[in-house]
Structure 1
Amino acid sequence: MKSLLFLSRQLTWRDVQHLTVLTAKRNQLFDPTKQHLWHINGAGLEFNHLFGYGVLDAGDMVQHAKNWKSLPDRYHCAAGNITERRPIPEKGTLKLTINTDACKNTKDEVNYLEHVQAFITLRSSRRGNTVVFLTSPLGTRSLLLSRRPLDDDSTKGFYKWPFMTTHAWAEQAQGTWTLEVSFDNEDNSNAPLSKQQNRTKYDREKSETLTTGDFFEWSLVLHGTKIAPYINQLPLEHHGNKSKLFIAKQIHLNNFQDKAKYVKLLKQDNQKRLGSDDEIVM
């Protein structure tokens, strides 16, 4: 990172984030439990809920930075909100949707995503059992909140809590966003032994009771650019048509219509480099 900043003192924190996403490598990273597989988002970028976009490649970042052009301005769009109180089912999932034009024709218009925030208010009888997913208009499903065995709060819940995802990076912002809220009612048996031994009879009975709760509010905020961020960037020649920058740029130029074509290229490249591509999911 020091070499990167020394090379170009004009790089901003956003430039560094884009370079990180575009040059990180999947390598041999995998989840042995098979719970968190590698996915490809709507802009052709591989990601994993455990490993993000992969391992940092400082050398590749430096090479890309040599010809890096300044990014378009970043805007912040308050894309919509839901404020109606709704019960969260003990079994099953509460699904909520916001259809947005991403502030089109305003000073805050966002067409290409960077960060996405969901400000959520809810309360449950056991906060640690709450699980939240956010799905983008192009179908990228981000895990915003996973089960936490040691979080036994039953009063505070979440109040306008700012959950964030970068897994829809470089995707289109307009369309229908879906929030899923559910309870994972495991018995917390995988909590540390000391914690289990210290549980009272009341604690044990409470953990065996199905979690209940209510949803109160969801506000969606989209951060990104109005102009395609990679339109003026030059992919490195030695990467050919398999670089993340090349793929994302082409998908933008074709209005997100040819993801499948580049997914095939990624699969072939992973098969060649890694010997297997069993984990990748579109």
Structure 2
Amino acid sequence: MSVPTLTLNDGTKIPQLGLGVWQMQDDEAPGIILSALNAGYRHIDTAAAYGNEAGVGRGIAESDVPREEVFVTSKLWNDRQGYDAALRAFDETMGKLGFDYLDLYLIHWPMPAQDRYVDSWKALIRLREEGRIRAIGVSNFLPDHLERLLDETGKAPAINQIELHPYFQQAKQREVHAKLGIATECWSPLGQGEALSDPILTEIASRYGKSAAQVILRWQVQLGLVTIPKSANHDRMRENISIFDFELTEAEMAQIKGLDSADGRIGPDPATADF
């Protein structure tokens, strides 16, 4: 079964499940990308900070899958924020990927202490207007950051990629996204593996002959989210994408909702992150 798509606020369609490539080495990325495409993935999420954009581009170029069938995301790193710097950084990203256009470009972190994310956003708006990017968005932006982008530019991000897993479900943040018409994308969707041995998740998984990871990813898809689990293992990649032949019940969705924790965050706090 093919991966369903979500329609963003600009009409762009994004596959709900993709492959994250954080911590993958550039020289190993082509083989991993080829394996993922062979497994049915059509959505790849990279970033300038990952150091593997060139490898991702090579993997796509070497595959039999046409470029237009692969949805690719990359991200602007913190030290390249600002209008002119963001434009130059995007050119560098495109050079590494070897693409004529990018499907989605995100501001990786708001970095409020720098106070350059609005100027960066204006650069992304320009690139989209020039047809070099199909959709533009942000990552790790809090509600006040999103409101400021809207207030100062009139343009809402198509998507906000945030930490989201069973132990950190970000319900209030998702409510803001829904109000503003912004899609939610999950990074670290499996909580860096911490939730995979949770008894509630393993018990649900056993009912369907699935893994806890598959239950988590299915939960996110049923919530209407986009999710990008990372794996360099071919069997695990195939497992992660095999979640469209079962459906969680309302009771099971409620059980997972009960796993949420106020202190479940794993990554940095976007309000104070400065790196």
TM exceeds 0.5? Answer: no
Shorter-chain TM-score: what band? under 0.3
Larger-gyration structure (1/2): 1
Bigger RCO (CA 8 Å, 6+ sep) = 1
Structure whose residues are more often helix by fraction: 2
State the TM-score, normalized to the length of structure 1: 0.25
Structure whose residues are more often strand by fraction: 1
State the TM-score, normalized to the length of structure 2: 0.25
